[in-house]
Amino acid sequence: MINQGERRDFFELVYELVRCIPSGRVTTYGAIAKALGAGRSSRMVGQAMKNNLGDYTVPAHRVVNRVGMLSGKHSFSPPEKMEQLLASEGVKVENDKVVCFKELFWNPMQEL
């Protein structure tokens, strides 16, 4: 259980889960939110990521929306950094979308 104490903010829980994402794999905001028991607060996951950019170091590039599109790539220092990082991990990105997203998708609940 990633949820040791629900005292923390939603953001921290998101950070922990995102840190657990294996290299070369990606997941969706909804899956994260659901894994945390937040239900449909997928938007908040994104906000957490944005917050992380300034405070914590989390592989936010491995988090995409439900269709595998790099929704938040614009929030990266250079937007191109996101696809670059993904490419470095073996994830191919085409037109801001993850190729074979279905195959690369990492289900948090399946691993946890």
Partner DNA sequence: AGCTTGACTTTGA
Partner DNA sequence: GTCAAAGCCAAGC
Between 11 and 93, whose beta carbon lies closer to DNA?
11
The reply to whether 84 sits near DNA by the rule CB under 7 A is: no
Alpha helix stretches (DSSP H) within the chain? 10-19, 29-35, 42-54, 80-88, 101-104, 108-111
Q: How far is CA 39 from the centre of its chain?
A: 16
Q: Which of 22, 23, 43, 88 binds DNA (CB under 7 A)?
A: 43
Query: Which CB, 1 or 77, lies closer to DNA?
Result: 77
Q: According to the binding rule CB under 7 A, does residue 81 interact with DNA?
A: no
Measure the CA angle with vertex 49, ends 75 and 62; round to 5°: 85
Query: Which is closer to DNA, CB of 1 or CB of 74?
Result: 74
- For DNA, which residue of 21, 26, 29, 104 counts as binding (CB under 7 A)? 29
Which one of residues 17, 46, 83, 93 is an interface residue with DNA (CB under 7 A)?
Answer: 46
Determine the Cα–Cα distance for residues 106 and 98; give it in Å rounded to an integer.
Answer: 13
